[in-house]
Amino acid sequence: MLRLVFFPILFFLISLESIAQNRFDPPPNNGPVSRGRVLVRGEQIQIERIAYFTEKIGLTAEEAQMFWPVYNEMDNRRNALFEERALIIQNFMNNADNLTDRQIDEQLKRLVAIQQEDAALPVEYDAKFRKVLPARKVMNLYVAEMGFRNSLLQRMQYIREPTRTTGR
């Protein structure tokens, strides 16, 4: 039961990193260059994630070649589900008064189906990860995902906290 609740929440929160970037901030002027332009936050996060996971999981070069395509496939599927869910919710919020009960019912059914698909991803990809990595490194993956997510959340919290000054 704990797995049915924990893993979907874990993967949902991890997928938040994909949208955690603030697209309205201009990119830094002194950052690394990619394709003739400054890296945007999403690309920087991806680079940091690769480095963090590779170190925390302890991937060899051979393992990394097999692991990253599987992980990226899972991440793309998770992100697509998140985006579809967000679009359904946004559509409802923008058009709630104009939607029929039948349309709302269809959207609710799709939201439940998305949640089921999202909940099935850990089971499916755990098996795929175990084909390319030993069990210890698969467990290190789950630990690394949680650690990286927590690191991002702490950085976001630090950025958003207002500067405290004394009123004297």
* DSSP element (H, E) containing 6: helix 2-19
- Residue 40: the pLDDT is 66
**What is the model's pLDDT at position 29?**
43
Mean pLDDT of all residues in 72-83 = 96
pTM over 0.75: no
Burial of 92 (0-12, 13-18, 19+ CB in 10 A): middle
CA–CA separation, 69 and 168 (whole Å): 56
Q: Which residues contact 63 (CB under 8 A, 6 or more apart)?
A: 132, 133, 137
Q: What is the chain's length? A: 168
The tens digit of pLDDT for each residue in 149-162 reads: 999 898 888 777 66
Task: Classify residue 35: in a domain, yes or no.
Answer: yes
Q: Which two tokens stand for residue 90?
A: 């946004």
Task: Give the whole-angstrom CA distance, residue 83 versus residue 19.
Answer: 10
Percent of the chain with pLDDT over 70: 71
Judge whether residue 140 has pLDDT over 50: yes
Return the SS3 of 36. coil
pLDDT at 158: 77
Rounded Cα distance between 52 and 143, Å, is 11
Residue 142: which of 59, 57, 63, 47 has the closest Cα? Answer: 57
Summarize pLDDT for 2-37 with one digit per residue, the tens.
444 444 444 444 454 444 444 444 444 444 444 555
Domain contains 97: yes
79-109, pLDDT tens digit by residue? 999 999 999 999 999 999 999 999 999 999 9
- Domain assignment present for 99: yes
Q: Report the number of distinct structural domains present in the chain.
A: 1
| DSSP state for residue 100 in the 8-state scheme | -
- Identity at 76, one-letter amino acid code: N
Picking from 34, 59, 29, the residue whose alpha carbon sits closest to that of residue 134 is 59
pLDDT at 157: 83
Task: Tell me the pLDDT of the chain averaged across its residues.
Answer: 81
pLDDT of the residue at 11: 47
Per-residue pLDDT, 164:
57
**90 within domain boundaries:** yes
48 lies in which domain range?
2-160
Question: Which regions of 6-147 does DSSP assign to beta strands (E)?
Answer: 33-34, 37-38
Mean of pLDDT values over 41-66: 93
Q: Please report which confidence band the pLDDT of residue 145 belongs to, taking 50, 70 and 90 as the band edges.
A: very high
